[in-house]
Structure 1
Amino acid sequence: MSEGFGLVVRFSLRDQGAAKAFDELCAITLEGIKQAEPGTLTYVVHVPEGEPLVRVFYELYADRQAFDAHEAQPHTKHFLAQREQYLAGVEVTFLEAIAGKVAALQ
């Protein structure tokens, strides 16, 4: 299966104040993603049930080049530069698709 390039990122936040500020940073970043990244197919921020100081990102890109384009965007660079002040930890898992269903592009 060659549909996309994905990753899951788990952010542990320092405290409730850091979580609020991190969420605001995410909202700003998402606006840039929506406006400037046609190769970003899915970019969703989740709060796991019962873990209010954790955020999990699920990201799916058309291909590795689309991910690289995402990483080069000014809004992404801003997010990467600002996020550290809110974090207690971060885990990144890159995903290789082997089976599944992918929605058709419009």
Structure 2
Amino acid sequence: MTGGFALIVRFTTRDADAAQAFDALVARTLEGIRNEPGTLVYVSHIPQGEPLVRVFYELYADEAAFQAHEDQPHTREMLRDREQYLTATEVTFLGEQAGKRPDLLEAP
């Protein structure tokens, strides 16, 4: 696999309680995401010094795999329910330039 389809999403939660509820929503959603064959990486991070922020890195086999992810019931539920916890959402789509991948993500 070369390139894939990747994005970074930065979520800012309203407060500590909202951050905790958002994390629980993400944990429930991940149960379904783990079964998506075209979703290669889906990881949530907390930036150092920003306890109310979550940054997601998502890597899909291709744009069709991303769309299949977006169409899943668990994803649609998260997209709907997350808004109550957030003050901001920033999405950045990425074009791969160079990198290193684990063997399971390398081209055959």
Q: Secondary structure at the match of 1:105?
A: helix
Alignment correspondent of 2:18: 18
Farther off after superposition, 95-104 or 52-61:
95-104
The corresponding residue for 1:89 is 88
Runs ≥4 in structure 1, deviation > 2 angstroms?
102-106
Give the CA deviation at 1:3: 2.2
Match for residue 38 of structure 1? Answer: 37
* Structure 1 spans left out of the alignment, 5+ residues: none
Residue deviations 1:36-84 (CA, integer Å, cap 9, x gap)? x010000000000010000000000000000000000000000000000
Contact 1:48/1:55 (<8 A) preserved? yes
Instruction: Report the RMSD for the aligned CA atoms in angstroms.
Output: 1.4
Partner of 1:59: 58
Tell me the distance in 2 between the aligned counterparts of 1:58 and 1:14.
Answer: 21
Other-structure match for 1:28: 28
The CA deviation at 1:100 is: 1.1
Give me the whole-angstrom Cα distance separating, in 2, the residues matched to 1:105 and 1:68: 22
CA contact (8 A) 1:13 1:54 kept: yes
Task: Give the length in aligned residue pairs.
Answer: 105
Instruction: Find the residue that maps to 1:90 and give its secondary structure.
Output: strand
Q: Which runs of 5+ in 2 are unaligned?
A: none
**Structure 1 residue matching 2:91: 3-state secondary structure:** strand
